[in-house]
Amino acid sequence: MNKTALCGILLCLAGSACADTGGRLLATGGVTNIEGSAGGGIVPWAVLSGYGTRDEWGGDAFATRVDTGDYRLDAFGASLAFNNRVELSVARQRLDMDALTKAAGLPHKSLNQDVFGVKLRLFGDLVYDRLPQVVVGAQYKRQTNFLIPSLVGAQRDSDTDFYLAGSRLFLGAVGGYNLLVNGTLRYSRANETGLLGFGGDRRDSRSLLKEGSVALLLNPRWVVGVEYREKPDNLSFAGESDWQDVFVGYFPSKRLALAAAWADLGEIATLEGQRGLFLSMQLSY
């Protein structure tokens, strides 16, 4: 690739040197959650990926890394959203667990899964109109190396999560700053989002799980917030903790978004106190 082209692409990502993507306002596509759905980092929101309005299409590609020292999660994927109505997404996750593999003499060094998501906007608008934006979504997940999950009691290697989410941006709500509030109800039996399979020896039916995020927009480009994700606890060999994080999002243009978070993931597969940095990058089209 020659220098001018590269320079052009960089300019394009960093600013408004190229035609903007879609007609929605900056940051209203959120970032991409680890399962590939538009949202926060760990919670899907009721927003659709990219910046397409009801007359346009758009989407995102993303890559995320969460590193707690004992574990490292890498996720990447892409999505397409049509007419701000339907979002289709695909993501691949890989959890490296060198520490545990060595300590417990496990047969694999990582756990992997693929996630295929669909999200449908039912009604409402994130910013305008009387009703908040509300979506239903499904994430079909396929754990791709099931030996370890099956040994610790997981019942199946693929399953579908269902969720209902509502999001609203309140203009000038907190001392003049815009506030984004999101609530998500998930119906799932995924162990550690599915990386440890689905259902367990302790409980094999889906649970209703509450997830939420609150974010403050310091200006159109900078966002700070917190997220919370309740998790099921289906396997008896170890506890599964709820997740939470505090995050900063940066939207230099409608092409690029960066997110950093401090995530507290609690106990994961017998290792407690899992905390670490979450970094994510997203390109929008």
Partner 1 sequence: MYRELRATACAALVLIGMAGCASQPPESDSLYQALGEQAGINRVVEALLYRIADDVRIAHHFADTDIARLQEKLQEQFCVEAGGPCEYTGDSMADVHAGFDLTEADFNALVEDLIAAMEAERLPVTVQNRLLQRLAPMRADIIYR
Contact 49, 59 (CB under 8 A): yes
Q: Which CB, 114 or 264, lies closer to partner 1?
A: 264
Q: How far is the CB of 72 from partner 1 (least distance, A)?
A: 30
Q: Which CB, 105 or 175, lies closer to partner 1?
A: 175
Q: How far is the CB of 112 from partner 1 (least distance, A)?
A: 32
Residue 55 interacting with partner 1 (CB under 8 A): yes
Residue 123 interacting with partner 1 (CB under 8 A): no
Q: Tell me how many helices (H) and strands (E) the chain has.
A: 3, 14
Q: Which CB, 56 or 267, lies closer to partner 1?
A: 56
Contacting residue, 12, 13, 17, 56, with partner 1 by CB under 8 A: 56
Tell me the CA distances in angstroms from 269 to 34, 75, 137, 167, one per residue in order.
19, 19, 27, 32
From the list 48-56, 62-70, 88-96, 199-207, the region that binds partner 1 by CB under 8 A is 48-56
Contact 141, 105 (CB under 8 A): no
Residue 255 interacting with partner 1 (CB under 8 A): no
Contacting residue, 102, 108, 202, 210, with partner 1 by CB under 8 A: 210
- Which H or E run includes 20? none
Whose tokens are 């403050």? That residue is 216
Round to whole Å and give the CA distance between 83 and 65.
30
Q: How far is the CB of 18 from partner 1 (least distance, A)?
A: 14
How far apart are the two ends of the chain, measured CA to CA in Å?
Answer: 21
Contacting residue, 10, 15, 103, 128, with partner 1 by CB under 8 A: 128
Residue 212 interacting with partner 1 (CB under 8 A): yes
2 token code pair? 């020659």
- The footprint of partner 1 on residues 150-209 (CB under 8 A) is 166, 168, 171-172, 175-178, 181, 183, 185
Residue 53 interacting with partner 1 (CB under 8 A): yes
Round to whole Å and give the CA distance between 105 and 103.
6
Round to whole Å and give the CA distance between 78 and 144.
19
Instruction: Residue 193: name the closest of 84, 78, 64, 104 by CA.
Output: 64
Contacting residue, 1, 3, 4, 130, with partner 1 by CB under 8 A: 130
127 token code pair? 């910013």
**Residues at the site binding partner 1, with contacts judged by CB under 8 A:** 22-26, 53-56, 84, 127-132, 166, 168, 171-172, 175-178, 181, 183, 185, 210, 212, 218-220, 230
